[in-house]
Amino acid sequence: MAVGDSMSVHLVTVKPKASVQEAIALMLQEGVGSVAVCDGVRLVGIFTERDVLRCAGEGPLFLEVAVEDVMTRRPFTASPGDDLLDAAELMAAKKIRHLPVCEGDFLIGMIGIRDVLRGIVEQAAANDGARDTARALLTRAPRL
């Protein structure tokens, strides 16, 4: 199964100059754990729950700090044609839960760990030999 089959195309984005408070409010409103930081449609970073915690640890200046000052620049990304298990392996190896899906520099979707798990379960269930497929997927899948 490809990443593009499991990714979300509902993009939640902020501009680099947005305040951290704006980004947090948007994350809460949309019920997501990350926002893509975009200059137009070009991905320039990602701001996640971990970034929120890091900011909170440095002080309560959420109104004054711009997302671009605390975001993860040049985040790991996937392409829509990448294999879902390869994305899962990357996420596990890098200890990340959100992976922007891009074509070149352009953001087209986002895949989270829940999307990956759902896709793996769907792939196993779609097979006639679901038990064997699930066992094979689980032996290949990294610990998340």
pLDDT at 103 over 70: yes
pLDDT at 144 over 60: no
What is the 8-class DSSP label of residue 117? H
Q: How far apart are CA 64 and CA 61, in angstroms?
A: 5
85's tokens: 């298990």
Q: What range defines the domain where residue 46 resides?
A: 3-140
**CATH code, 115:** 3.10.580.10
Q: Which residues contact 44 (CB under 8 A, 6 or more apart)?
A: 16, 37, 38, 68, 71, 73
Q: The pTM is what? A: 0.80
Q: How many folded domains does the chain comprise?
A: 1
More confident residue, 11 or 126: 11
- Can you tell me the mean pLDDT for 33-44? 92
CA–CA gap between residue 117 and residue 120 (Å, rounded): 5
